A and B are shown apart, each in its own frame.
Chain A
Amino acid sequence: MESTNYVVGFTLAMTVIVALTLSSLFYGTKDQVAQNADVFNKRAILSAISAKLDKPVSDFSDQDVLSLFEEKVEQKVLSMDGEELDGIMAEKVDMAKEAKKPEEDRQLPLFIYNGGGEKVYIVSVRGSGLWDAIWGNVALQSDFTTVVGASFDHAGETPGLGAEIKDNPAFAKQFGGKKIYNDGEYVSVGVIKGGAKNLAYEVDGLSGATVTADGVDEMLFRGIKYYEPYFGKAKG
């Protein structure tokens, strides 16, 4: 057996070396990683309005994504009463933190795409999947009723199952053209296990990922409703 001093010395040396290696790597890559994450999130927002863009979002370079956002996307932050808040950008709103606040204190990010023609309003929603948080962006026409498109993401759903909400373009594609109001009554877009029945307001769930699909259903119903006060004001 080695002496205690040796074991302690070895452990200390190992810890110092590992800590230095990892922290210097972390600081070396930090800025690029932050930019990658930023582009990734903006790409997700843009893919909710892919129907309005002239080419698929995957064909945009990172720089294209950032400049398109700079030029054509207006960012607003709303209170739960639908009032616009000053001095904060929608992209700075951390949905994970907001979800922990009491409902009436939350801030809601709103992205308005202004690419000629009618404006498109993109709202953000957040909920729970099977393993961890899920979130998404839903783009609405200026009637605040018709869905232009949607995109989803998740923290830890299973690839091939729950992760299909992000990875399978066919899932998000179903949302285009759906309505969230039925004769003035708020219905959201339902995600239905076993297949949509009412095609105006429902989409198909995911086989093998029922819990995640139910999470999307719940998240949409609750999350879009938060924006209702704003919809009322914006419609005048």
Chain B
Amino acid sequence: MAEVKTAPAIQEKEPLFGKKEKKLITDPLTDNNPITIQVLGICSALAVTSLVLPSVVISVAVVFVCAFSSLFTSLLRTRIPKSIRMIVQLVIIATLVTIVEMVLKYFSYPVYRQLTIYIGLIITNCIVMGRLEAFAMANKPWRSFLDGIGNGLGYGLILVGIALIRELFGKGSLFAGSAAEMKIIGASPDYIINTMAEGSWFGWYSNNNLMVLPVAAMFIIGIFIWIQRSRNPDLVDIS
């Protein structure tokens, strides 16, 4: 990936939040998005995105894990023995994910129970390890930390985007399971029972069950990729 080659060799005074640092955050949101451009982390993007709330929680967890695993890996990068470097990265990631799990259990047990296995699956999310290998092993801690945040956010942006579409058209609701739960289209609180809601503006809408299934996420990611590349043809052959 491009960043590895441009790793700064010349010692210059680095500002805490200069142009380059800003780019580390904004690039993964757009032109170097981990899902649509690097095509990492697809598996979880298909699995967890049927509802918005779990997607948001997973995204926050990935931002945390990505940022801090990058930070620790970068701090240790000159000391990590090359022969076991991937094992070390994995231990760092797994430790952080376990911490996320404990924190959720402590502060928000119902959310933990809603996500259960998906928290553990962050360990296998290719974005995290991909960024450690491609960036944190070759860059200074602060920049690696920002790169981690940027990539976590880029992942979350797509994840929540997919979830918004899937939940809205698949269940007729948004943020189901949260305090701010909204019933938008379909408008019936009994949204599994596909009856048309009476007296609703959107009473004609019947929930699209395809959207509930993981294939829908595949289509939506495809459409995102298509839109992004048709707006910026430079990206077409990048990955």
Which residues of chain A have a CB within 8 Å of any CB of chain B?
1-2, 6-7, 10-11, 14-15, 18, 21-22, 25-26, 29, 32-33, 36-37, 39-40, 131, 153, 155-156, 158-161, 163-164, 166-171, 173-174, 195, 204, 206-208
> Please, which residue of chain A has its CB at the minimum distance from the CB of B94?
A18
Nearest to B49 among chain A residues (CB) is: A160
Name the A residues within 8 Å of B209 (CB-CB): 207-208
B30 within 8 A of A: no
B191: chain A residues at CB < 8 Å are 168, 170
| Interface assignment of B223: CB less than 8 Å from any CB of chain A | no
The residue from A22, A36, A167, A208 contacting B109, defined by CB atoms under 8 A apart: A36
Query: B40 at the A/B interface (Cβ < 8 Å)?
Result: no
Q: How far is the CA of A160 from the CA of B212 in the complex (A)?
A: 7
Interface residues of B in 51-79 (CB under 8 A from A): 51, 54, 79
Select the residue from A11, A18, A29, A167 with max chain B CB neighbours within 10 A. Answer: A167
SS class, residues of chain B in contact with chain A: helix
A-B contact pairs, 20 of them (CB 8 A): A2-B83, A7-B81, A10-B81, A14-B88, A14-B91, A18-B91, A29-B105, A33-B106, A37-B109, A40-B113, A156-B117, A159-B118, A160-B167, A160-B170, A160-B212, A161-B50, A168-B191, A170-B192, A171-B192, A207-B209
How distant is the Cα of A11 from the Cα of B189 in the complex, in angstroms?
54
Asked if A204 and B105 sit within 8 Å, CB to CB, the answer is: no
- Contact between A10 and B79 (Cβ–Cβ < 8 Å)? yes
Residues of B within 8 A of A (CB): 47-48, 50-51, 54, 79-84, 88, 91, 95, 98-99, 102, 105-106, 109-110, 113-118, 166-167, 170-171, 176-177, 189-194, 209, 212-213
Q: Is there contact, CB below 8 Å, between B81 and A159?
A: no
Q: Write the nearest CB–CB distance from A72 to chain B, whole angstroms.
A: 23
Verify B106–A36 contact, CB threshold 8 A: yes
B193 touches A155 (CB 8 A): no
Complex Cα gap A155–B91 (Å):
25
Most buried by A among B81, B102, B114, B190: B81
Q: Are B95 and A18 in contact (CB under 8 A)?
A: yes
Assess the A26–B192 pair: CB atoms within 8 A. Answer: no
A153 to B82 CA separation, bound complex (whole angstroms): 45
Q: Are B114 and A160 in contact (CB under 8 A)?
A: no
Residue of A nearest to B193 (CB): A204
CA of A85 to CA of B52, assembled, Å = 46
Q: How far is the CA of A159 from the CA of B44 in the complex (A)?
A: 12
Q: Which residue on A lies nearest to B52, using beta carbons?
A: A160
Contact call A208/B80, Cβ cutoff below 8 A: no
Q: Is B192 a contact of A164 with CB atoms below 8 Å?
A: yes
- Using A29-B102, A159-B51 as known contacts, say yes or no to A208 and B213 having CB atoms under 8 A apart: yes
The one of B51, B95, B102, B109 that contacts A40, using a Cβ cutoff of 8 Å: B109
Closest to A170 in B: B190
Residues of B within 8 A of A26 (CB): 102
Contact across chains for B81 and A163 when beta carbons are under 8 A apart: no
- CB-CB under 8 A from B113, the residues of chain A are 40, 153
Contacts of A171 in B (CB 8 A): 192
The answer on a CB contact under 8 Å between A10 and B80 is yes
Q: Assuming the A-B contacts A164-B192, A208-B209, are A11 and B105 also in contact, with contact meaning beta carbons closer than 8 angstroms in the complex?
A: no
CA distance A90 to B167 in the complex (A): 38
Within the assembled complex, what's the spacing in Å between the Cα atoms of A163 and B113? 10
* Contact A29 B192, beta carbon cutoff 8 Å: no
User: Nearest residue in A to B166 (C-beta to C-beta)?
Assistant: A160
- 5 closest Cβ pairs, A-B complex: A160-B50, A36-B109, A170-B190, A2-B81, A7-B81
Q: Within the complex, what minimum Cβ distance (angstroms) separates A101 from chain B? A: 25
Residues of B within 8 A of A40 (CB): 109-110, 113
